Structure 1
């Protein structure tokens, strides 16, 4: 059975967004309704402050950074959906961690400095004990680097540093 057009999107648009994002047609329709109801500036672009009010974005522990990096207001609905898709519940923790690494990677080289990684760790939903453990692991990673990108954290390092902290569900988007 094919995809039927939603209240807001044609069947072709809905199919394309579903293929690219992995969201169900129902979820896409819901998010499109949310997106279209947001206030816009004089040029018709969604305001950043409005994107932060979309329920799954507002509930995300890294919502502000998510908007700044992946949901740029001037890029439109498909860009919005592509940004959100990185944090679907069905996305692997590895994919979410890679997306977070990119969110904090200011120069786009796929690596984080120790300071960038420490900033990221401070924003994660973790207990004080978990945060101390992650910072200890970060320090250990920095000390053990020989012959590699010294002073930088890779995606593999980030996975090691965050291992033992239950981040999968807390980094997933929540829909009411």
Structure 2
């Protein structure tokens, strides 16, 4: 056990995943183990229901948006299924970036920003409206802030970020607002150390 053949992945598949994501073969093996444990039916793909059985996602206020991201990023052409390669591609966005480490295309600052932007862009039109911002804020803080305060925060955010005054936040405006934020570290999970 422990070698890539035990994964039901060919060595060339492991190498291709490593090249695309930056994960080591050992990390890929551990991710495959986690993927397999979620794939209770052994169908080689995960559904939304499979993801929603993950306790951390079930209690996360943005769990539904996070699950949506796995399906949005899916390259297998099926909106309701995520295969192992899609699963690993999404997780690669959260790989910590170490100094002097070669970055892969999924783990750059811009890719992390695009991923975060999609959390807010609920309708997928490449713009964040006040209503979308309000919906995500409501998911995040729920009953802790009254609706009037949430609306005020959403309106103020739109005013501050919307440089072209179309009452929407584009990706460029979103990135500009976050230019001084350490997105590389804030969007990193040390889940495979």
Q: TM-score range, shorter-chain basis?
A: 0.5 to 0.7
Which runs of structure 2 are paired with 1:1-176 in the superposition (5 Å)? Answer: 5-8=4-7, 9-40=9-40, 45-52=45-52, 62-71=62-71, 74-90=81-97, 91-121=107-137, 136-142=156-162, 144-146=163-165, 150-162=166-178, 167-175=183-191
Asked if the contact 1:6/1:29 (under 8 Å) is kept, the reply is no
Tell me the TM-score normalized by structure 2.
0.63
Specify whether residues 45 and 12 from structure 1 end up closer, same or farther in structure 2 by C-alpha distance, changes over 3 A only: closer
Structure 1 stretches lacking a partner, 5+ long: none
Inter-partner Cα distance in structure 2 for 1:65 and 1:31: 21
Tell me the TM-score normalized by structure 1.
0.68
Inter-partner Cα distance in structure 1 for 2:184 and 2:58: 17
Inter-partner Cα distance in structure 1 for 2:155 and 2:109: 19
Residue 70 of structure 1, CA deviation: 1.7
Q: How many residues align?
A: 165
Structure 2 stretches lacking a partner, 5+ long: 72-78, 98-106
Residue 103 of structure 1, CA deviation: 3.5
Asked if the contact 1:114/1:152 (under 8 Å) is kept, the reply is yes
Asked if the contact 2:133/2:154 (under 8 Å) is kept, the reply is no
Asked if the contact 1:61/1:171 (under 8 Å) is kept, the reply is no
Specify whether residues 14 and 68 from structure 1 end up closer, same or farther in structure 2 by C-alpha distance, changes over 3 A only: same
SS of the residue 1:7 aligns to: helix
Inter-partner Cα distance in structure 1 for 2:15 and 2:167: 44
Residue 157 of structure 1, CA deviation: 1.7
